[in-house]
């Protein structure tokens, strides 16, 4: 029979099972902060290069780096999207866990799928950011 109120045991189990997704969510948020800061630096550099007067002899050389900066920004933006998707999947996982406990429904299979999905999306975000770092390092003065 369906119980409208969680028992203390049910709530305790759900909270203990929500610990791992909470840590994943914290990691995703911290990583998003890094990605947004990195994106800001790329955009700032692009704006600075674009603001250099056309008469400046260095502008032509710096302007040649704009396509590379656009590629890097695209890779970081992709990493941001993957990280956001990972955070959403993690939040859904926590919602499903608490909702299932409330309604007394078994949630383990769905939680496992959402947890794997969340980690997979986070992995895609890390891969995309790794590609951006590789591009940046291949075109920097310091190798």
Residue-wise pLDDT for 34-64, tens only, equals 999 999 999 999 999 888 888 888 888 888 8
Within a domain: 131: yes
The confidence score (pLDDT) of residue 141 equals 62
The confidence score (pLDDT) of residue 5 equals 63
Within a domain: 5: no
Range of the domain at 128: 13-138
Give residue 139's Cα distance to chain centre. Answer: 25
The confidence score (pLDDT) of residue 11 equals 72
At residue 4 the predicted structure's pLDDT band, cuts being 50, 70 and 90, is low
pLDDT at 2 over 80: no
pLDDT at 68 over 60: yes
Within a domain: 88: yes
Token digits of residue 99: 């909702």
* pLDDT mean over 80-105: 89
Summary mean pLDDT of the chain: 87
Within a domain: 35: yes
Within a domain: 93: yes
* pLDDT mean over 72-79: 97
Within a domain: 123: yes
Biggest distance spanned by C-alpha atoms of the chain:
79
Contacts of 132 (CB under 8 A, 6+ apart): 38, 72, 75, 76, 79
Q: What is the 3-class SS of the chain, one letter each residue?
A: CCCCCCCHHHHHHHHHHCHHHHHHHHHHHHHHHHHHHHHHHHHHHHHHHHHCCCCCHHHHHHHCCHHHHHHHHHHHHHHHHHHHHHHHHHHHHHHHHHHHHHHCCCCHHHHHHHHHHHHHHHHHHHHHHHHHHHHHHHCCCCC
Tally of structural domains, the chain: 1
């Amino acid at each position: 029979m369906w119980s409208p109120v969680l028992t203390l045991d049910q709530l305790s189990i759900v909270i203990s099972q929500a610990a791992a997704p909470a840590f994943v969510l914290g990691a995703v948020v911290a990583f998003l902060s890094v990605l947004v800061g990195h994106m800001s630096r790329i955009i700032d550099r692009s704006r600075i290069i674009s603001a250099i007067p056309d008469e400046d002899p260095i502008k032509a050389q710096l302007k040649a780096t704009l396509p590379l900066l656009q590629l890097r920004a695209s890779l970081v933006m992709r990493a941001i999207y993957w990280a956001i998707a990972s955070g959403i999947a993690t939040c859904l996982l926590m919602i499903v866990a608490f909702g299932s406990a409330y309604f007394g429904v078994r949630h383990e299979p769905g939680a496992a799928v959402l947890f794997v999905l969340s980690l997979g999306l986070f992995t895609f975000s890390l891969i995309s950011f790794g590609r951006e770092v590789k591009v940046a390092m291949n075109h920097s003065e310091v190798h």
